[in-house]
Structure 1
Amino acid sequence: MTKMVVVFSNHDDAVKIRNLLVRQGFSVVAVCTTGAQAIQAAERLSDGIIVCGYKYSDMIYRQLREYLRDEFEMLLVASHHLWSECSTENVICLGMPLKVNELTDTLEMMENSMARKRKQRKLVPRERSEDEKKLILEAKALLMERNNMTEEDAHRYIQKRSMDSKSNMVDMAKSILSIMRD
């Protein structure tokens, strides 16, 4: 479930929106009245949705958007005449007066989009550090030397053992090196 931060300059409005979202089953982790508070709340999250008004005491929504990481999306709740400025990336606008079903439908759509993005990020392999690459190469070299394996066979061996033991290749390479060097 995607975590949400509610940001409105009027605290009572922010609390009402939070209560509405919580009743609809959404996970609201913070209620803020300034952009700085919202930024602090967002820093504790890996991603999320910011549900906000147009202006706060310290900044406007566009400045807040600039401070947020790309993993965050923003739902701007504002009157229609302010929408012309709402052309920033990762900002979706919803008009006032607010209709509950439009709000919940929009947030569900945003949650689904974020879930797809999370899945895509997980599919991208993490780049290994030079030390990690070196460990894997050492383990492969040792397997090739002692077990008369090709480089491809040694790589496949480390890969299969790491999958079987539910560990990563670097940990398996360390294990192979410690066992075979003793």
Structure 2
Amino acid sequence: MGSIVVVFPKKETAVNIRNVLMRGGIEVAGICTTGAQTLQFADNLEEGIIICGYKMQDMLYSELRECLPENFEVLLIASADKWGQGLVKGVIGLPMPIKVYDLLNTIEMMLQNMQRRRRKRREAAKNRNAAQQQVIDQAKSLLMERNQMTEEEAHRYLQKCSMDSGTNMPETARMVLTIMEE
């Protein structure tokens, strides 16, 4: 399941939203008050949903969205005039004042979409041909040898680089091989 991070400049607001979500049966991974904290928190997660207001202490929601990896979505909670001109890609908006029913249903919909995308990625991984798997294995071996990583750490590293760059695993493995063999 995707991780949820609640980000608002006032910690009390974030705590209230977290409590509403938890009463609705949705687990929250953390609370932040700045965009920088959120980005640090997101670095430790594979994917997730960031619930935030229009403006944090150090950045706007659109700047946060630009800095987040592709596997994250943003749920913007703000007055409709703040996002009336349209939203940035990867952002869903809910108008203020927020209704608990709308919040819970929107989060559930976003989590289902994330789960669907995760299934598609797994299917693609299962359908790799032997040449693609060989490239991935070579990159893992090189990482294990040069960086003293375990196979699991090397695999996780390739996954993270793949997600961060928006490329598939075989392509990321080729990039790692090219960079490390120079």
TM (norm. structure 1) is: 0.69
One-letter identity of the residue aligned with 1:68: L
Match of 2:40 in 1: 40
Cα distance change on mapping 1:131 and 1:45 into 2, 3 Å: closer
How many angstroms does 1:86 deviate by? Answer: 4.0
How many angstroms does 1:85 deviate by? Answer: 4.3
Q: Is the 8 A contact 1:35 1:64 kept in 2?
A: yes
2:11 maps to 1:11: yes
Cα distance change on mapping 1:128 and 1:41 into 2, 3 Å: same
How many angstroms does 1:130 deviate by? Answer: 3.8
Match of 1:165 in 2: none
Q: Deviations over 1:39-71 (max 9, x none)?
A: 111111100100110101110000000111110
Gaps of 5+ in 1: 134-182
Match of 1:110 in 2: 110
How many angstroms does 1:27 deviate by? Answer: 1.4
Match of 1:146 in 2: none
Between Structure 1 and Structure 2, whose CA radius of gyration is higher? 1
Aligned-partner Cα distance in 2 for 1:132–1:77:
43
Deviates further, 50-59 or 77-86: 77-86
Q: Deviations over 1:9-35 (max 9, x none)?
A: 111101111111111111111100000
Aligned-partner Cα distance in 2 for 1:131–1:111:
29
2:141 maps to 1:121: no
Count of aligned positions = 133
One-letter identity of the residue aligned with 1:98: I
One-letter identity of the residue aligned with 1:128: Q
Which residues of 2 match residues 135-150 of structure 1 at below 5 A?
A: none
Q: Deviations over 1:104-137 (max 9, x none)?
A: 011111111111000011111264354847xxxx
Match of 2:156 in 1: none
Q: Is the 8 A contact 1:77 1:93 kept in 2?
A: yes
Q: Is the 8 A contact 2:51 2:74 kept in 1?
A: yes
Q: Is the 8 A contact 1:83 1:93 kept in 2?
A: yes
Match of 1:21 in 2: 21
Match of 1:84 in 2: 84
One-letter identity of the residue aligned with 1:122: R
SS of 1:49's equivalent in the other structure is strand
One-letter identity of the residue aligned with 2:114: M
Cα distance change on mapping 1:131 and 1:22 into 2, 3 Å: closer
Taking only aligned residues, the RMSD between alpha carbons, in angstroms, comes to 1.6
SS of 2:50's equivalent in the other structure is strand
Cα distance change on mapping 1:128 and 1:78 into 2, 3 Å: same
Aligned-partner Cα distance in 2 for 1:120–1:92:
22
Q: Is the 8 A contact 1:6 1:14 kept in 2?
A: yes
